[in-house]
Chain A
């Protein structure tokens, strides 16, 4: 089992819709969770961080964490074409020091 798993997509949503991105992780003791956005040919950009169970909202973005289910998600409301990118889930596990990244979910927002 991979440390962090994401549905690779591609995921397509119409403009204005809600995009839902999901991520599961293997280490139950993980404590820090992050979502990054990466445009083609660019570097990853931090969007959200979440450390405790529940929801965390920032503008159009909501991160949701469920440690019991080892599941973290990102919701993008009112999706815009500029949201079209690859979204990377990253987890800092209890064991080890690195951030483990999923392979990313490609999102396309259709005008």
Chain B
């Protein structure tokens, strides 16, 4: 059973471009969480999704950020018109049910130049 798969592992974007981060949850997991982590800082919650639904997006900036988890395919975190402050590690975690154990992917390191 493969773990949570995130791609790309590293992503470099110029200011103003779009960044698209993908997360394939573990088999049988229908709950996906996205977190952002800056160097030497903790994990900041961004969004929680179940298949085809956004359950909680309270941690996600209203502007430029969006997330989806379609019926088929991976969950996508999209950042439009990236700025230098978006540079961070973005982690996805999946869980088989709400409030259950969540397992993390390897993360995507986004660098905005």
> Chain A residues in contact with chain B, CB under 8 A?
31-32, 34, 36, 42-46, 49, 88, 90, 92, 96-104
Contacts and interface: CB of A to CB of B under 8 A. Distances in A.
Given A43-B106, A43-B107, A44-B91, A100 B45 contact: yes
26 contacts: A31-B99, A32-B99, A32-B100, A34-B101, A36-B104, A43-B104, A43-B107, A44-B43, A44-B91, A44-B93, A44-B104, A45-B104, A46-B102, A46-B104, A49-B101, A90-B102, A96-B56, A96-B58, A98-B45, A99-B33, A99-B45, A99-B102, A100-B45, A101-B43, A102-B42, A103-B42
- Give chain A's interface secondary structure class: strand
Interface in B76-102: 91, 93, 98-102
Contacts of A36: 104
Interface of B: 33, 35, 41-43, 45, 48, 55-56, 58-59, 91, 93, 98-107
